[in-house]
Structure 1
Amino acid sequence: MTFLERLQDEIMLGDGAIGTLLYARGISGSIEDANRHEKEMVISAHKEYIAAGAQVIQSNTYAANALKLDNYGLAKQVTTINAEGVRLAKQAAIGEDVFVAGTIGGIRDGRASHFSNDEVKTTTETQAEALLSEHPDAILLETYYDLHELVQALRIIKRLSPHIPVISNISLGDVGVLHGGIPINDALLRLANEGADVVGINCRMGPAQTIASLEEVSLPEGVFLSAYPNASLPGIQDGRLVYQSNPEYFKSQASAFREQGVHLLGGCCGTTPDHIRSFREKLQHLSPLRKPRAKVSAAWQQQAADIGETIDLHKKESSMIVELDPPKSLTKMDKFLQGAEALHDAGADAVTLADNSLATSRIDNLAAATLMKQQTGAHPLLHIACRDRNLIGMQSHLLGLHALGIRDVLAITGDPTKVGDFPGATSVYDFTSFDLIRLIKTMNEGFSHSGRPLGLETQFKVGAAFNPNVSSMDKAAKRLEKKIVAGADFIMTQPIYDIETMERVKEATAHLDIPIYIGLMPLINGRNAEFLHNEVPGIHLTDEVRQRMSACGKDVQKGEEEGMAIARDLQAAALDLFGRIYLITPFLRFHITAALTNEAKAHSSQRSSV
């Protein structure tokens, strides 16, 4: 039975990230060059995925094109590396009921490219010829941010080998849309009309956002849908992107992929054989489903709080900071200001604004804070990420904040750009959050980073972020101590979802004479809870909380009420233990955090009167 015939009646499993396995085994530099020098290691990686249940494995040739290999001085090895990649995959598949796809990855990454269209076209054609010379069962085109480039690659394959099945996977800029605002369904239909046999999504997003995007998709008969999600949104550790290890979560999401009509399901960045094995355990013996029509769903926005929050009302015995992120759309600015006013009226001591959290472009938080301050009287507390500004821009930004009368800031590292809606953008990271805290303190002494007098001492109060959702609270507390030594005036934590963790934070920080704001983010439904737990680095929900939210099903009102109930209990405990909380507004639903703010104020009044 051919590859396409198999897709008719069963959900076939692809493999996961071969680069993840090879990196773990010590391969550095060009992963694809392992096809020449570490053949047994590459074969072993393929076999691990086959053993886990993969029925379609891809050659280790994702970036084996002349333009990318040239970074390693390997541009002349394109033919060898690609041909060997297919041969090694075929060798691993001997005796197995497995298909081999020759893989070509996109060259443009979502930003302006200095490569001409002719260069990209020639490079793709050379790689395709090398792969096809070894007669793979299919060609996989993956991680294309540029629809034009993907269509061009598809045409090249169909011209060189008209009958070979082609899988064409696009990567999205945001949920449901490509860069440039092209709806996902329009893009996939275009690819189907160009002759792609399988169309779908890979990379950039974890399961939840991938599934949400697939809700927009409805394909004609004879065209199959594929999905290769990342393990999660990436975090950054020791300068490298890292992903959540969450095979059980993948298993829980498998049915949702089936419900969206997926026929070919694998994994991308951060996924391992364990993730594929989880898909197999859930989907084996199940046939694919076909949606009768596209579901129309509002673009499922996600703004999980990531790192950082603060303010400077530390001399008060009890205080509250509430986060309200600037909107992505100009049309939502009135709602943002309405929310800021509601939070101010509810008694929030400060409204904190993230700095393009999750590396997603929003209205500039300085502009939003200035309007908020002018029109509502709310006290702004701005997050400042190291990601987006070099040293020159950062100091200029801080001077501008001070000139506008904004004094409270939170110094954070910032999510890597690969997380966001411009994944090809460059992360600056001229310095760390520790360095940023020190820079702000130097400016408070009246000097620039270079030692030049500023003519005036700035008066910033600077906060630092703290993630208590870690295996070693002692190590986290040691890191926190270093931020205090650097000059942090207060601390804001990542969201916490259990009282036990709060108590551990209290114990670990008892020796620190610094205000600590406990982060709380109300949940709105089970899907939101699972996304935060499994895909957002630095956030952990207890089994009890996840079960409570899951029990609400799709009842919007019930989900919101249960999320409020959970947050209310956590808030009371946080106020009793620390006297300060940091509420994070979910999806601009400020009525939730305004109500909690009112309750917190009443709770604090009762405590002070006792």
Structure 2
Amino acid sequence: MKLLERLQNEVLTADGAIGTVLYSYGLEYCHEEMNVQRPELIEKIHREYIAAGADIIQTNSYGANAIKLARYGLENDVVKLNTAAIALAKKAAADGGQYVLATIGGIRGIRKSDVTLDDILAVVKEQAEALIAGQPDGILLETYYDFEELTETVKLVRSLTQLPIVAQVSMHEPGVLQNGLSLNDAFAELEALGANIVGVNCRLGPHHTIQAFETVELPKNAFMSAYPNASLLDIEEGRVVYESEIDYYAKAAVELRNQGVRLIGGCCGTTPKHIQAVKAALTELSPVTAKDAKEQPVVKMRDAEPREQQPLHEKAKTERSIIVELDTPRHLEIEGFMEGSRQLYAAGADVVMMADNSLASPRISNIAMGALLKEEGIRPLTHLTCRDRNLIGLQSHLMGLNALGIHDILAVTGDPTKVGDFPGAASVYDVSSMELISLIKQLNEGISFSGKPLRKKANFSVAAAFNPNVRVLDRAVARLEKKIEHGADYFISQPVYTKEKIVEIYEATKHLETPIYIGIMPVTSHKSAQFLHHEVPGIKLSEDALARMEACGDDKERATAEGIAIAKELVEVAAQYFNGIYLITPFLRYDMTLELMKYIHQLDEQKKGVQA
């Protein structure tokens, strides 16, 4: 009898974790390579699960795709390792007639920038074809946090075979995926795409897995599966461990059956002993054919509180808008920064922008300085880098900003630590700047990074960085378009030092509706001009500007005046083409920025006079 026919009238027991057993043997390298290096051991694990009562076993092929195998230099062994995986499982199941599911594991987590969806589907196709050639009883797609990846994978696999497909999501929070979709809705979508069995595995232990299924209706044309972890994970002496109460796990299997689950196995931390207990607990039980699902808890979402000021991306669409940047101090004396901020804001800046430990060197926290500015009625804009915080820290930081009423954010990748004061420090980079933009916009929908409701919508206006100082501007513009797709509200450019570049930027971006703030930073000396021109990637001054700064020699006052004069010439061109101007204050010299702001206002008044 085929698998789906059995599930019509029975609750079946699947196997547990293969990786957990291999870890217990001290094998922490590429587990899929054991299919050819230690085939007798893999077959032994399969037979142990069969002896424990498993009706279904899965192949040892979870990470046997070219992307994951590349970590071990085995990307060219995909066919060999998957062929061996299916052969070993079928050999072990031959005597007892157990079903064999060919396993394909998810690749993406929250971070999506490392590999494209097209790349994922290409390697999945290669793996799936190798597994299907071994004639399994079905395909098991497991541990998918990214729902887009899973839905596209289901479509791909269904195009390759009519074998039963088991599609299992993984959740950070019970009952909801990381994109905020409910488990019930996710199952309905997977069923519609052709999955025959829809379920959950990994991350959550039995308690939270049961809790997740309580809000799920019985699918109309599919069955449900559950492979919980043995418990929530813990760390002991650097090793991942799981609490392992066998009787508790068996009772949980009965509760899962009561929620309508018909295929029950185990994920991380489970062993043949867990499966033996599950089999014993389920043996006399028939499937549940009707249930009253609990209503999905409705979290009343408060709308984001309206901002007092107009969002920058809205203002820059129709009128002049000025962002000024002032670096927070690298020491504990803050009065100079505060006085500069007061004067710049009083002179007409829309916001005072603060970097997030620029050049990977520690400065006073911009969230702290932003709070101090806000107390004085000055609107802050804070950078947020991917470098310094993991996902936990990023969400916590953003929630804190929202609580403080700081809603203007520039999401950036962040300079690598090797350029800063602590070159040996770790760079985090859990996500890219594009992914961070998407996650911030998810908070604006009232959904946390893990998919959990936040009870209130955040209200962030998100800027993205734009580097126009590249050889091929079209590529930089294509990157802008991708950032717009991720949710960028407007762009702030790196400093531009030639009038021709400003015009080029306008011509290359005039098709975009998303505003751009053009960066202008006055140089303060010939040495600083040389440094920017020769050592800062992507920045080039004109030959005329270099010559003019060189002519100033060591005369500081003359150099300041010339630097402002050059910047005014750039401002004049930028103001013709762009409403948004971004003035970068060099070395806390806010007197220079004030002079440029005064000049911008003069240009605008002259323009109004001409139009009148």
Instruction: Report the TM-score, using the length of structure 1 for normalisation.
Output: 0.50
Which is higher, the Rg of structure 1 or of structure 2?
A: 2
Instruction: Report the TM-score, using the length of structure 2 for normalisation.
Output: 0.50
